[in-house]
Amino acid sequence: MSKLVIVESPAKAKNIKGYLGKGYEVIASMGHVRDLPAARLSVDIEHNFEPKYAVIKGKEALVDELKTKAHKADCVYLATDPDREGEAISWHLANLLGLELDDKNRVTFNEITKTGVKNGMEHPRQIDIDLVNAQQARRILDRLIGYKLSPFVSQKIRRGLSAGRVQSVALRLVVDRENEIRAFKPEEYWTIDAKFTNPPDRKSFAATMVQDKDGNKVGTDKNKIPSKEESDKMLADLENAEYVVTGVKKGTRKKNPAPPFITSTLQQEASRRLSFQARRTMKAAQELYEGVDVKDLGTVGLITYMRTDSLRISDEARSAGNDFIKQTYGEKYLPSTPRFYKTRGNAQDGHEAIRPSMPGVTPESVKESLTSDQYKIYKLVWERFIASLMASCQQETMKVEITANDYVFTASGYTVKFDGFTALYEEKTDDAQKKDSESPLPPVAEGDVLKLKSILGNQHFTQPPARYTEASLTKALEENGVGRPSTYVTITSTILSKEYVVREGKQFVPTELGEAVTNLLKERIPNIVNVKYTSKMEDDLDK
C-alpha cells in the first residue's frame, strides 16, 4: 500500500520520512493552502457569514501536485501542526483533495522523534470540526474587523493604514502605558541606610530605618521621609547613638522552580537572558522541533511543539527527567512528591509544555551539531524543564532588628541550606527590585552592640511605570487573554512594521501615528480596542 502523509514544512517532511520508511511518501503543504482572498471581503454577511475560500495565489501548482499524489495513494494522512491553525489546514486540505471528513486520517506529532511519530501514526482520528470552526470564526471576525476598520482609519488619518482585532488592542496597551508615563508626577522621598559590623567579625552588613522615634513606620507608601530636612533631623538625632540588636528572628523558606516553558514564557525568558527578539526565538525553536541532524543520533526533533499554552508534561518525559536528575545530582535533588503545574484556565490543553523530547540528551552533548541560536534555545528549554522537576531550594532566613535612640532599623539575609533546583537554573525577572538584594548576615544575638560604619540619607524619586518591552507586552497580552501562542510574534512585528510603534533599546514607544490610530478607535469604536472584549472572544472560541 502507498501512504501519503501531508505536513506543513519541508524540514519536518524530510525528518518524518526518515522515521516512517518504505511505503510512505511525505510532502509539505508549506502552511495554509486556502484562505479568504485578499482582494475582497470574501465573507457573505447576508448569508450566515459564509466564507468564500480560494487557493492562495502562487500555490496552485502545489495544490495540483497534492491532488495527483492523493489520488494515487491508497491512504492519505493529514499531519499538520497540532493546534487550531493546523487543524484548519487539514480541513482545507481534506476539502481540496476530496477526502471524507468522517475518515480517521488526522494525525498529530507532539515531538518529531521516532516515538513521537510512531505514537501519532498509531492514533489517527477524525478532523476535529469544533477546532476548525473556532479557527474559521477567528479568521472571519479578523477579516470583518480588518476590512471594515482599515478603510475607516485610512480615510480619517492617512492612506494605506490598517487596523486589526488583536494588533489594535496591543497598540492600545503601548499607548495607554505612554500616557500613564506622561501623566506621572515623580515624588521625592528619602531613606536612611546604615552599615554595621559586629566586632570582632569584620564583615559589614546593611540595614534600613523602618520606624521613627515616635513609633511611626518609615519607608511605606504612606510614611515616606519626604525631604532632606526631615532626613537630616533624624540623622542629627542619631549622632553618637548606640546601636543595639533588639530582635533576631530566624526561619526557613522554600523557593520553588518555575514551571516548564509555554510559548509566551519562552519568548520572555529568551528576551531577558539572551536579548532575543520573539521572532528569532521562535525560528530557533521551530528548527529544534522540526528536527536537526545530530551526531550519533541522526535527524531528530530535540524539543516538543513550540506553540502551546499548556503546562502538562507526559509521564514518560517526567520519568526520563527524574532518571537524569537521580543519576547526575542524586536522589535528594528529587522532591518527595512529584510536582505538577496547573495550566491557566483559558489555555488550550491540546499538547504538552515545551520540553526536550529526550530529557537525557544534554545541551553540551549536542552543541557541536547545533547553530549558536539553536544551542542557546535548547539549553534554555532543557534547563528549565529539568529544573522544574527538581527539589525546592531551602533557605535559612534571618531578620535582625536594631534600635538606636528609639529609631528602629532592620536587616534581612539568608543562607542557602540546600541548593535544590538552583544548582541548575533560576528564572530571570524584569523587575530589578524583585531581585534578591539580601546577603548572608554575620552572627548576631539580642543585646549585641554594633559598630556603625556609615549612615546616610539617600534621596529617591518615585518611578513611572516602565514602557513595554517585547517580553513584557507578550506577558500582558497573555495575562489579559489576548491572542494565542501562535500569534504573539505576528502581533508585535505588525505594530512595528506599520510604524505605530518604534523600538528604543528594548522598549516599545508609540509613534504619533500609533497614538492617532488608537485615539480614533477608542473614540469611535471603543469595543474593538477593549481588552476585555478581545479576551472574551478568545474564551468563546475555546468553548
Distance from the Cα of residue 197 to its chain's centroid: 43
Nearest-angstrom CA–CA distance, 398 and 111: 46
* C-alpha cell of residue 479: 495575562
**Per-residue model confidence (pLDDT) at position 437:** 58
Nearest-angstrom CA–CA distance, 354 and 322: 17
Pairing, β 292-294 against β 43-44: unpaired
Dihedrals phi, psi of 17, to nearest 5 degrees: -55, -40
Nearest-angstrom CA–CA distance, 310 and 254: 25
**Per-residue model confidence (pLDDT) at position 294:** 93
Sign of the CA dihedral running 86, 293, 317, 264: negative
How far is residue 286 from each of residues 3, 83, 227, 299, measured CA to CA in Å? 26, 14, 55, 14
- Which of 418, 442, 431 lies closest to 255, judged by CA? 418
For the CA atoms of 291, 293, 299, 303, what is the dihedral angle to 10 degrees? -40
Name residue 211's beta-bridge partners.
Answer: 217, 408
SS3 content of the chain, % helix, strand, coil (to 5): 40, 20, 35
Q: Cis (ω within 30 of 0) for the bond into 200?
A: yes
List the catalytic residues.
Answer: 305
Nearest-angstrom CA–CA distance, 211 and 223: 10
DSSP state letters, 181-227? HHH----EEEEEEEEEEETTEEEEEEEEEEE-TTS-B-SSSSS-B--
- Print burial letters for 179-195: b (CB count within 10 Å at least 16), e (below 16): eeeeeeeeeebbbbebb
Contact assessment for residue 296 and residue 361, using Cβ atoms and an 8 Å cutoff: no
Q: What is the largest CA-CA distance in the chain?
A: 96
Nearest-angstrom CA–CA distance, 33 and 267: 28
The pLDDT tens digits for 123-132 are 999 999 999 9
Nearest-angstrom CA–CA distance, 400 and 250: 9
Other C-beta atoms closer than 10 Å to the C-beta of 297 total 15
Question: DSSP secondary-structure letter at 24?
Answer: E
What residue has cell string 478568545? 538
State the Cα angle at 175 between 174 and 176, rounded to 5°: 95
Positions in the chain short of pLDDT 50: 432-436
Type of residue numbered 57: K
**Per-residue model confidence (pLDDT) at position 289:** 94
Other C-beta atoms closer than 10 Å to the C-beta of 11 total 19
Distance from the Cα of residue 99 to its chain's centroid: 38
Contact assessment for residue 42 and residue 143, using Cβ atoms and an 8 Å cutoff: yes
Nearest-angstrom CA–CA distance, 302 and 15: 12
**Per-residue model confidence (pLDDT) at position 347:** 58
* C-alpha cell of residue 399: 531578620
What is the 3-class SS of 403-419, one letter each residue?
A: EECCEEEEEEEEEEEEC
Name residue 355's beta-bridge partners.
Answer: none
**Residues with Cβ within 8 Å of residue 48, at least 6 apart in sequence:** none
pTM of the model: 0.85
Contact assessment for residue 42 and residue 35, using Cβ atoms and an 8 Å cutoff: no
**Residues with Cβ within 8 Å of residue 130, at least 6 apart in sequence:** none
**Per-residue model confidence (pLDDT) at position 436:** 47
For the CA atoms of 79, 85, 89, 92, what is the dihedral angle to 10 degrees? 140
**Per-residue model confidence (pLDDT) at position 432:** 44
